[in-house]
Structure formats: structure tokens, C-alpha cells
Amino acid sequence: MLIFKLQSYLEAIASDASLYEKGNFEKRSEAIDFIGFGVIDQIDEYLLETTSPTLLQLRQHAEKVRSALEETDQQLFQHIQSNIRQGGYSGTAFKALITKYVDFNVHDPISQEEVGYDNLDVLINGLSLFQTMPEQTKDLEPEMVYYQKTPARIVFELVEKSFIRQEDVFFDIGAGLGQVAILVNLLTGIPTKGIEFEPAFCDYARDCAASLNLSDVNFSNVDAREADYSEGTIFFMFTPFHGEILQAVLEILRQESLQRKIKIITYGPCTAQVALQNWLQAAAPAENNAYKLGIFSSF
Ligand SMILES: C[S@@+](CC[C@H](N)C(=O)[O-])C[C@H]1O[C@@H](n2cnc3c(N)ncnc32)[C@H](O)[C@@H]1O
């Protein structure tokens, strides 16, 4: 009975031609998830109790159907990458391209109590030619925070809410694999810079930017306490560190703010410490939710 049910689900997916059209990215993502969780995981559970050649065959078939769908995704990613590389898509054109494939509205109030990823992340992750996470080569100090990616939806929201001007220069402090700096450049056209402590992450981020021909996206492999911020006007932090390191970097930014007005945008638990700085004003009343963007500007 179970085999019959899973088989018919799988056949319905395999024979749905619309799933193999590049444009149907969200529908395809749902089908890929369903094959993983609804079919393969179920088969694996049954295979723990019984050895059935038919179930094993069905599992292989499910893997094959999933690979074919993933192959269509790869074609879509290559199509978007090649458009970016040729310089055809930046600013509103890039946003329009992405919203063609993923239906979302940055103004939708989604209440997040933790970091959450969705189909937009799958699409944006696909823009990177390098899919294997590099190994960390340096130990972090106790107050430094391990790599975790800012959800792509949050980066779109950041661009929407921070009133970016063409003369702005954006810094991602603790840039990880570079996705925030790359996306902000694609969405706005302004120069972006990433500061990252881990050399392997920095190399990866540079390779990604180079593979997309983004010459205005640069990364420095340096401790945030030693970085040169003299060109920056907007500084983003997805909690790269806390405690004394955060305070030391905020003091450097305060010094920069004596030269020009700056904005600091935060995500994650560091927002609470940034909100305490008396040289910054919050753009919106502070909310008691670390996973909402904090937007601050110097006086
Ligand atoms: C939570 S991740 C954020 C990554 C990236 N900003 C993003 O949102 O996708 C924090 C990053 O900060 C880096 N980091 C931690 N301490 C640092 C320091 N003192 N200087 C520069 N980078 C640091 C970590 O290696 C890690 O990649």
C-alpha cells in the first residue's frame, strides 16, 4: 500500500512537465523538498525494518527524479549568473529578476524569533559557483562568533530600509563567505567591502565576486579591530562578535562618525549592545527581537 502511494506521488512529479520549466523555481523547490522528506525519508524509515528490493528500486527512482529537478535549477542558476557576469542586472533590474522566480514582499511582517531560511536563500545560494563551504583554518577568540549566513530576505529588507545613496560605501563587518556584500552590491550598485578574520572565507568570497565580474565588491582578510573603515558610510554586522571586541569596534566606528555621518545596521544579539551607544540614534523604536534588523545612525 505504502509503495503504491509513494510510487504514484513520484510519478505525478516526474510527469509534470511544468516542473522542468526554469521559471517554475518555487514549485520545483516544493517538489524537491517533498521527494526528500515525503518520499526518501519515508522509504528509509521502512528500510530500517525490512529489506525490500522494490522499496530500494523506488528509492533509486526518487533520487533520479530529484536529480533531474536539481539539474533544471542548475540551468536556472547558470542563466542568472551569466546575466550578472555580463553586467545586465544590477539594482532594480536584479531585484526584478529575482522576484520573477521567488514571490516575496520585503514589507511582509514575518516575525522571526530565530534565523530562518527559505526559497529565496536557495536561489541566492545558487548564484555562487562554489558550493562547498571552505574549512576554517584559524581558531576564533572566545568573543568571536562562528559563521552563519544572514538570510537573503533580511539583506533585501536592509536595502529597502536603509535609504542607500549612490555615494554610500557599504561594509559587512565579519563578512563570512561574502554573500551580504555581493547581494548589496547587486541590489544597489554601490561599492561594498567585507572584513573577515578567516582567510579561507575571505578567499572564497573574493572568488565568488570575481566569478560574477563584480569589481566593486572587495574583501579584506583582517581582524575587524585592525580594519580601515575610512571609506565606509554604512556598516552592517550580523553579530560577528560580542563583549569587548564589539565595544572596541564600535569605538573605532564612533571615531569615524566624527568625520562623516554613518549608519550601523545590525542583525542578531549584537543589536542590544549597539542600541546602548549614546552616539547613535535608532531609526525605528527598538524592538525586543534580535532577529529584526536594527538601523542606527550617528548624530
Ligand atoms: C555570524 S557570521 C556573519 C557572516 C556574514 N556577515 C553574513 O551575514 O552572511 C560572523 C562572521 O564574523 C567573522 N568574525 C568573527 N570575529 C571577527 C573579527 N574579529 N574580525 C573579522 N571577522 C570576524 C566570523 O569568522 C564569521 O564569518
Residues of the chain with pLDDT under 70: 1, 108-113, 285-286
Q: Is the CB of 162 under 6 A from ligand 1?
A: no
CA 106 / ligand 1 centre spacing (Å): 24
- Distance (Å, rounded) from C-alpha 246 to C-alpha 274? 9
State the closest ligand 1 atom to the C-alpha of 267, by its place in the atom list counted from 1: 8
CA 145 / ligand 1 centre spacing (Å): 6
Nearest residue to 262 via CA among 271, 272, 253, 270? 253
CA 280 / ligand 1 centre spacing (Å): 22
Q: How confident is the model at residue 128, as a pLDDT?
A: 86
Q: Give the end-to-end CA distance of the chain in Å, rounded to a whole number.
A: 68
How would you classify residue 213: left for phi > 0, otherwise alpha for psi between -120 and 50, otherwise beta?
left
Best mutation site among 138, 146, 220 for ligand 1 pocket (most ligand atoms within 8 Å of CB): 146
CA 201 / ligand 1 centre spacing (Å): 9
Q: How confident is the model at residue 285, as a pLDDT?
A: 63
Q: How confident is the model at residue 106, as a pLDDT?
A: 74
- Distance (Å, rounded) from C-alpha 256 to C-alpha 235? 11
Q: How confident is the model at residue 284, as a pLDDT?
A: 72
Quote the crossing angle between the two packed helices 179-188 and 199-211, to the nearest 10°: 30
Q: How confident is the model at residue 208, as a pLDDT?
A: 96
- Distance (Å, rounded) from C-alpha 174 to C-alpha 57? 46
Distances (CA, A) of 282 to 162, 211, 216, 265, 277: 12, 37, 29, 10, 10
DSSP 109-147: ----SS----HHHHHHHTT-S--SPPPP-SPPPTTB---
Q: Which residues are bridge partners to 238 per DSSP? A: 267
State the closest ligand 1 atom to the C-alpha of 225, by its place in the atom list counted from 1: 19
DSSP 191: -
Q: How confident is the model at residue 112, as a pLDDT?
A: 63
Q: Is the CB of 147 under 6 A from ligand 1?
A: yes
Q: How confident is the model at residue 289, as a pLDDT?
A: 83
**E-assigned strand segments in the chain:** 170-173, 192-196, 217-221, 234-238, 263-267, 280-282, 294-298
CA 8 / ligand 1 centre spacing (Å): 46
Q: How confident is the model at residue 75, as a pLDDT?
A: 95
- Record the pTM: 0.93
State the closest ligand 1 atom to the C-alpha of 201, by its place in the atom list counted from 1: 27
- Main-chain dihedrals φ then ψ at residue 194, nearest 5 degrees: -115, 140
CA 176 / ligand 1 centre spacing (Å): 5
Chain length of the chain? 299
Distance of CA 220 to the CA centre of its chain: 19
